[in-house]
Chains A and B, each alone.
Chain A
Amino acid sequence: MTTAMTVHQPPVLFGVPGPGAGPDGPVPPGAAADAAVAAILAETVHPVPGAPRGVVVDSPPGAGKSTLVVRAARELVAAGERLMIVAQTNSQVDDLVDRLAEKGPDLTIGRLHAADSRPAPEALRHGNVTASAKAGDLLELDVVISTAAKWQWVKDTDPWRHAIVDEAYQMRSDALLAVARLFERALFVGDPGQLDPFTVVGTEQWAGLSYDPSGSAVVTLLAHNPAIRPHRLPVSWRLPATAAPLISSAFYPYTPFRSGTGAGERRLTPGVRADGSAVDAAIDEAAEHGWALLELPARHTVRTDPQAVAAVAATVRRLLDRELSAHSEQGSTPLTAGRIAVGTAHRDQAAAVRAALAGLGVPVDPAAGPAVTVDTANRLQGREYDVTVVLHPLSGRPDATAFHLETGRLCVLASRHRHACIVVARAGIAELLDEHPSTEPVQLGVAVKFPDGWEANHAVLAHLAEHRVRL
């Protein structure tokens, strides 16, 4: 999977903290981000006496969260500390190990894993990484990294003085309850706009409790530690200037952010002319404007709508055939399969797209070399690509359910790209949204989550309508 990732270093990280300025202020993005990062690192590495035991960082998509984690880990170690890092999934842990080992060749890193699962080869290729299923083997290392699920089983160790909790908004409160005994202080980093943690059993009886075990770890932490003031990373280095304003206003209405790059700094140029098809027109539209909506005629369909799946596959095929180049502040690179992702709402949709792509000769198996990633929103969280093709969660649906309206799902799908996002959908989503019953239950004492799914969906649709190509 690492082949599909860009380890993106924000252009300036070591600048002088600038004056506090809003995302629309005159401060250049690099300086604004530096100021935020410097404040976070100061609080994390050199806490003043009496400071809260936690530091929370809210990070919009691609705002340098991973870079911050690596930076904080290196500075803590440089200050003579050892630390543990908690991530939520094995692939997140492996990515982090890979990145940390590469950026910090002087660090000794432990990859703690479950007895019945092997870490990814990318994580183990570095000489400074030791893998073990026993925490005891790794205690002397500078940094020990594992999933929350594995950390819960670690016992008989002295607590670490420092921990970093990555993707903290996707961590459940009960997981934090189980691992908090392992550290004294912690830096919590995450994106509040992505998918909430969930459970398949009823949890109504704990709704409204600050420590609702099925809620987000950060919500519990902040409720019990009101002195913690969350920091915010104000600049998205991933999202291009065409995407950041929409994602910010639609999904982060009360905490705006901006793009680290300006208009025209990211470009996609095709090497092969359009063949006149709607698919090529959509690719050209996306290359020029960063967005395209490839719209199929309105119809109610099953989830694995064969025509929509075929349109997604054809779009990916043409993206490769037309030999696009991606130009950015990092230079120009060809758009290869490994830099493209397809996002869906359901697993069976992803399976159908994978089958359709294989039928068109597009590589989809990462084990066999660079491949197009096809996955659900849940599994695309935290990932980054040059171009994404998204099967809209509401496409063809006769009804909109809470699952499909969940803002985090659309936010993940619409914010994975550095250059362009092509959305494939059937017409009629606006009408579907209008007819959706709005009878959500309300729990006393539970903060309302914003934005509202309906509003966010309409904001994105209204923007996409300006980049519509009908199939």
Chain B
Amino acid sequence: MNVSHPAQADPLARRLAELRGPTPQRSLDARALAALAANPGCRRRAVLDAAGVDKAAVAQQLGRPAPFGQSPFAIARGNVFEARLKDDGYAALLGPLRQLLGLPPEGGTPPTVPDLLPRATPAVRAERTREVLAAAAADLDGWTLLDHPMLRLTVAGSLAYLEPDAVVVHGGRCTVVEIKSFPVLDSVADPAKVGAAARQAAVYVLALQETAALLAGRSAAAGPYQVDEFPGSPALTVLLVCPQDFSNRPTAAAVDVRRELATTRRQLARLTRIDQLLGALPAGTTFDLAPDSTGAPARPAEELAAAVAAVPAAYSPDCLSACELGFHCRAQARCADAVEQLGRGVRGELGSIRTVGEALAAAEGTGSPVPVPIPVPAPASRERDGGADPGGPTDPGSDADPGSDADPGSDADEAAARLAYAAALRAEALGRPVR
């Protein structure tokens, strides 16, 4: 995502630019936007992504670089596959697309493939895509294939540029085409990879919905089950194109992205609340990675670490494969003795017990764990419009004491009692002395 900030005076944009420092903005793409769904509760990731900070560089500087990489073999195969799709006038794409749209397999004119100015700036390309899309949507009979169009999407008050693999326009509607190099084997593909592709495609669908609404001079539908009917509005089913079986031949599958679209909408809506997160940062916080004369970041790593630590993370082991900072956050979670290091599910069994030490003390019956109140953002942000009086219908004059039967220790006691019981069973089974 190349983000440009239309109004330099925008305080949010200025604040994010300060956080980033003078280094170039990290370019996020639809894949990165879709990845926000992986851990939406993580404020650290939300702030760094919104500011366009290069998380990989941060991780490197903090001493725990991200282990992600792509094999040259995988890249080569992906390129070969994508090139093959253009053979025979995109026949590999159009056949399945006709099937998806319920059209006869053959006939009609070959698609128009307009020049989308691939070498121009993102802004120019996006403008060009918009013109082409408007014209193509008006041509109800013809087929137009937009090869790597450029779309705009407003994210958290900033403009992001997104580049889908292809968009096909026919009959006044457009369909997103997502090309992936994982195989469809006997009509089955890796569900995790299809899910990721669907989330990515949903970002494009969202951008196309905004574009079509803009062209129609209206606003895009917001409800999860509503469908726009403007000229050029995107279909909510996308076409996933993959190698078939063990060959390099393409096969296409229709994927309904309505659910992912709803998810993307709410994740992006959350990003607009980024100013609340920024408000909680100490003044002067920056993730500046500007290099010195040797090319290494000039700031001492400790300063950077302190800045990162100022934004709370929601670490879970899934982060190791989804976020560049995963190993750093794991080390932090281990240092803090946090139970999250063992996985998301563990928290559910331990209630308000937050550390390994507390849990083991409870298991041994030696600790009296003190429950830590969980931070909950001000309820105002979630209160729906026209919501009830926050006090609810309770008679304000009543003498009910809201805390009268709430012994603050009791649920921790319940967790501790279960742990102690589990520890006794475990000791008995292992033939260890039972406490």
User: Which residues of chain A have a CB within 8 Å of any CB of chain B?
Assistant: 204-205, 207-208, 253-254, 276-278, 281, 284-285, 293, 295-307, 310, 314, 396-399, 401, 427-428, 430-431, 434-445, 447-448, 450-452, 454-455, 462, 465-471
Contact = CB atoms under 8 A, between A and B. Distances in A.
A441 B194 contact: yes
Contact of B394 (A281, A305, A455): A281
A450 B258 contact: yes
A254 B411 contact: no
Interface of B: 37-41, 184, 187-189, 191-192, 194-196, 198-199, 224-225, 240, 253, 255-256, 258-260, 262-263, 266-267, 270, 314, 318, 344-345, 347-352, 371, 373-374, 376-377, 379, 382-384, 387-388, 391-395, 398-400, 402, 405-407, 410-411, 413-415, 418
28 contacts: A204-B191, A278-B400, A297-B402, A298-B373, A298-B374, A299-B352, A299-B374, A300-B352, A301-B411, A302-B349, A305-B351, A306-B411, A307-B405, A396-B351, A398-B348, A399-B344, A399-B348, A430-B382, A434-B266, A435-B40, A435-B41, A444-B188, A444-B189, A450-B258, A450-B259, A452-B262, A455-B224, A465-B388
Given A401-B345, A465-B387, A438 B37 contact: yes
Given A300-B352, A442-B198, A443-B194, A452 B393 contact: no
Of the listed residues A253, A281, A296, A397, the one surrounded by the most CB atoms of chain B closer than 10 A to its CB is A281
B348 A397 contact: yes
Contacts of B398: 276-277, 281
B374 A300 contact: yes
Contact of A428 (B199, B374, B394, B402): B374
A300 B347 contact: yes
A462 B389 CA distance: 13
A445 B187 CA distance: 8
A398 B411 contact: no
Contacts of B374: 298-300, 398, 428
A114 B258 CA distance: 45
A470 B382 contact: no
B352 A452 contact: no
B191 A454 contact: no
A435 B314 contact: yes
Nearest to B255: A442
B394 A437 contact: no
A462 B384 contact: yes
B253 A465 contact: no
A299 B411 contact: yes
B188 A299 contact: no
B245 to A, nearest CB: 13
Given A437-B40, A439-B37, 9 more contacts: A301-B415, A399-B348, A439-B318, A448-B256, A451-B224, A465-B384, A469-B393, A470-B391, A470-B392
Contacts of A447: 256
Contacts of B376: 298, 427-428, 431
A465 B345 contact: no
Contacts of A302: 349-351, 411, 414-415, 418
A452 B388 contact: no
Nearest to A436: B40
Nearest to B384: A462
Contacts of A293: 392
B259 A448 contact: yes
Contacts of A427: 376, 379
A6 to B, nearest CB: 29
A434 B41 CA distance: 7
A448 B407 CA distance: 44
B402 A396 contact: no
A438 B400 contact: no
A414 B39 CA distance: 29
Contacts of B371: 299
B414 A437 contact: no
B345 A281 contact: no
Which 5 A/B pairs are nearest by Cβ-Cβ distance?
A: A435-B41, A441-B191, A398-B347, A302-B351, A276-B398
A442 B263 CA distance: 14
Nearest to A429: B382
A79 B279 CA distance: 75
B395 A281 contact: yes
B43 to A, nearest CB: 10
A444 B38 contact: no
A197 B348 CA distance: 24
A293 to B, nearest CB: 8
Nearest to B352: A300
A254 B256 CA distance: 15
Nearest to B350: A302
A302 to B, nearest CB: 4
A397 B347 CA distance: 8
B191 A396 contact: no
B1 to A, nearest CB: 19
A448 B415 CA distance: 37
B40 A454 contact: no
A451 B263 CA distance: 12
B407 to A, nearest CB: 8
Contacts of A278: 394, 400, 402
Contacts of B270: 434
Nearest to B340: A398
Contacts of A462: 384
Contact of A471 (B399, B402, B407, B414): B402
Contacts of B37: 437-439
B376 to A, nearest CB: 5
Contacts of B391: 470
B352 A454 contact: no
Contacts of A306: 410-411, 413-414
Contacts of B344: 399
A343 B301 CA distance: 53
A471 B391 CA distance: 10
Given A296-B406, A306-B414, A431-B377, A439 B38 contact: yes
A191 B415 CA distance: 37
A286 to B, nearest CB: 10
Contacts of B410: 306-307
A140 B314 CA distance: 65
A207 B188 contact: yes
Contacts of A452: 224, 259, 262-263
Given A455-B262, A469-B394, A301 B352 contact: yes
B394 A208 contact: no
A439 B195 contact: yes
A281 B397 CA distance: 12
A467 B399 CA distance: 20
A304 B421 CA distance: 15
Nearest to A348: B418
B411 A305 contact: yes
A396 B225 CA distance: 29
A297 B371 CA distance: 13
Of the listed residues B240, B347, B376, the one surrounded by the most CB atoms of chain A closer than 10 A to its CB is B376
Contacts of A296: 406
Nearest to B314: A435
Given A277-B400, A302-B351, A437-B318, A444 B184 contact: yes
B394 A470 contact: yes
A276 B399 contact: yes
A284 B393 contact: yes
Nearest to B373: A299
A284 B391 CA distance: 15
A451 B371 CA distance: 36
Contact of B392 (A205, A442, A454, A469): A469
A428 B318 CA distance: 23
B418 A442 contact: no
A469 B388 CA distance: 10
A314 B373 CA distance: 24
Nearest to B400: A277
A437 B191 contact: no
Given A305-B411, A462-B384, A444 B40 contact: no
Contacts of A470: 391-392, 394, 402
